[in-house]
Amino acid sequence: MPVWICRTCAVEQPDTPEPPATCAICSDDRQYVRPTGQRWTTMAELEAEGHDGTLDEVEPGLLGLTVAPGLGIGQRALLVRTDAGNLLWDPVGYVDDALEAAVREAGGVAAVASSHPHMFGAQVAWGERFDAPVWAQERDREWVQRDDPRVRSWEETHEVLPGVTLHRVGGHFPGSAVARFRGADGAVVLLTGDTVAGTPDQHWVSFMRSFPNKVPLSAAVVRTVADRVLALEPERLYDNFGGCVLADASTWVARSAERYVGWVSGDFDHLTGT
């Protein structure tokens, strides 16, 4: 039986004779179903369409993995390389033999984890390829669409590999998480998904319940998320779409949170002409 993959979010579903009627992740108010309706695909169909994955260095010890043509939400997965094995973060919804070989050449995958359910991608397929555990945050465990014995839960903090820890910060989803490790230069690096999303200037960040549907978070929630992120003392951070803060990340997260809180609290209403 085929493993179904949602065309809109690229999250894998159970292997059933027929696809589900709807994608639970896309039907939620943080995501969307396209006007053309729910559509499904399979890994074999995606390969026949010419999808291809590439690896590029983001910084020493950190690789970015992208798929072209664009697939689903279009996230860039990140591969954290360590002496004890690699973490695949926010896995894409596609993998073939060539992409597997490229990742093996880079050290393989010892663990798979995601920042939140929109980024589950083909996490079990990746885990099967590398015989790796797939870690899902306990509060978001219900969103795992394709269950499998290799899917394991973690709670508030989890050392997924020596020196690489997962931390629940909440906000976008109750289990929204970041991955923390030290870069080759010793600086603290966070991988934040879009729980803390970068902006084009590589300084400011933002926080949302839903980016596609433009649904904000409250001031109280943003303060809590920012405080949890700042407690990890990040010096650099990378989101899941190429956004980053390459220096003084703690300073910019704090500034960004204050700016956000000010706007949603009405502090700057005098600037709106209302």
Q: Which domains does the chain have, with CATH numbers?
A: 3-33+53-271 (3.60.15.10)
pLDDT confidence tier of residue 192, bands split at 50, 70 and 90: very high
pLDDT(1) > 90: no
Closest CA to 114 of 161, 156, 162, 168: 168
E strand segments, the chain = 3-6, 12-15, 40-41, 52-59, 62-68, 77-82, 85-89, 111-113, 134-137, 151-154, 157-161, 164-168, 177-182, 188-193, 197-198, 205-206, 236-239, 244-245
Q: Is the pLDDT of residue 62 over 90?
A: yes
pLDDT in tens, 196-240: 999 999 999 999 999 999 999 999 999 999 999 999 999 999 999
Q: What is the mean pLDDT of the chain?
A: 97
DSSP at 140: G
- The token pair at 72 is 């689903």
In the DSSP assignment, the letter for residue 100 is H
Residue 256 has pLDDT above 80, yes or no: yes
- Coil/strand/helix, residue 146: coil
* pLDDT at residue 114 in the model: 98
Looking at residue 2, what is its pLDDT? 85
| Per-residue pLDDT at 67 exceeds 90 | yes
Provide the percentage of residues in the chain whose pLDDT is more than 70: 100
